[in-house]
Amino acid sequence: MIASPDRTPLPRDFFDRPVLEVAPDLLGRILVRTTPDGPIALRLTEVEAYDGPNDPGSHAYRGRTARNDVMFGPPGHVYVYFTYGMWFCMNLVCGPEGRASAVLLRAGEIIEGAEQARTRRLSARNDKELAKGPARLATALDVDRVLNGTDACASGDTPLRILTGTPVPADQVRNGPRTGVAGDGGVHPWRYWVADDPTVSPYRAHVPRRRRG
DNA sequence: CATCCGATTGACT
DNA sequence: GTCAATCGGATGA
C-alpha cells in the first residue's frame, strides 16, 4: 500500500536551521494555497538555497532593503519578489533570524486543485508544466506580492501553509548549480531536485542581457 | 535623475 | 537555438 502524505504542518523549528540543511529537506513537502475558489496543493520537487551574508547570488547580499526585508525576519515566512517586470517568485525564509537566508521554490507537482491552476497557467501544455519553474509555480498557486511576509507555519485560517508531506529519501535527492544565477553566485551547487521527476525545470546557465538599441 | 539588468517565460526562427 | 516583454530595485552621476 502507498502511504498517504502527512498533512500536519511543518513546525517553525524546521526552518530555524541553516538553509543548506533545510533546502533538500523541503523536497516532497506539501505547500497548500487556500483561495476563495478552493485549495491548491503542490508537492515540492525543486528548490534553491540562498544564503544572505555569504552569497553573491542572494538578494540579501548587499544588506537589508525594503524589498528583502522579510528575508531578515523570522524563519518560516514567505518572501515574494517581482522580477523581469512580469513575474513573481516565492521563497521560504530560514534561520537563524537575521541571517537573511531563504529557499526559492522552483518547481513542484500539483496534487490538488489542478483545475484551478490550469485557469492561471493557460500556456501550460500539460499538467507537469503547471509549476515547472519558479514564476510558473507562483502563478499556478496565485501567489503575488500580497502574500509577501505571510507566515507559512501559522495555525488557523491562512492563505498559505507548508505541510510535512513525504520527505524524499536522501538517495533520491540531486544537486547542482543554481539556475540563472550570475557571476560568483553561480558557483554554488545549491539547487536541489528530486531525481528523474518530470516536473523539475530544465537547467539554464545565466545569460547576460544584451543592451537594447 | 539615468542607466543597467534581473533567482523568467513564452513566442518564434 | 534566439530574443522581446516589462517594471522596479540597485547603483552611480
Question: What is the CATH number for A179?
Answer: 3.10.300.10
Q: Is residue A211 part of a domain?
A: no
Asked if A157 and A165 touch (Cβ cutoff 8 Å), the reply is: no
Q: Does the CB of A68 fall within 7 Å of any strand C atom?
A: yes
Q: Does the CB of A125 fall within 7 Å of any strand C atom?
A: no
Residue nearest to nucleotide C9 (CA to C1'): A67
Distance A59 CA to B6 C1' (A): 11
CA of A83: nearest nucleotide by C1' is B6
Instruction: List all nucleotides in chain B with at least one atom under 7 A from a protein Cβ.
Output: 4-11
Q: What is the pLDDT of residue A29?
A: 98
Q: Which residues pair with A173 in a beta bridge?
A: A194
Q: What is the pLDDT of residue A211?
A: 63
Q: What is the pLDDT of residue A212?
A: 56
Q: What amino acid is encoded at A93 in this protein?
A: V
Q: Is residue A52 part of a domain?
A: yes
Q: Is residue A157 part of a domain?
A: yes
Q: What is the pLDDT of residue A183?
A: 86
Boundaries of domain holding A16: 6-194
Q: Does the CB of A213 fall within 7 Å of any strand B atom?
A: no
Please tell me the distance from the alpha carbon of residue A201 to that of residue A167, in angstroms, as a whole number. 20
Q: Is residue A18 part of a domain?
A: yes
| Domains held by chain A: number | 1
CA of A87: nearest nucleotide by C1' is B8
Q: Is residue A199 part of a domain?
A: no
Q: Which of A127, A90, A91 is nearest to A112 (CA)?
A: A127
Is residue A143 packed enough to be buried (19+ CB in 10 Å), middle (13-18) or exposed (0-12)? buried
Please tell me the distance from the alpha carbon of residue A16 to that of residue A22, in angstroms, as a whole number. 9
Distance A170 CA to C7 C1' (A): 40
Q: Does the CB of A59 fall within 7 Å of any strand C atom?
A: yes
Q: What is the pLDDT of residue A4?
A: 86
Q: Is residue A22 part of a domain?
A: yes
N-to-C CA span, chain A? 61
CA of A81: nearest nucleotide by C1' is B7
Q: Is residue A31 part of a domain?
A: yes
Q: Is residue A12 part of a domain?
A: yes
Q: What is the pLDDT of residue A117?
A: 98
Q: Does the CB of A65 fall within 7 Å of any strand C atom?
A: yes
Written as tens digits, the pLDDT of chain A (213 aa) is: 767 889 999 999 999 999 999 999 999 999 999 999 999 999 999 999 999 989 999 999 999 999 999 999 999 999 999 999 999 999 999 999 999 999 999 999 999 999 999 999 999 999 999 999 999 999 999 999 999 999 999 988 899 999 999 999 999 999 999 999 988 889 999 999 999 999 999 999 998 776 655
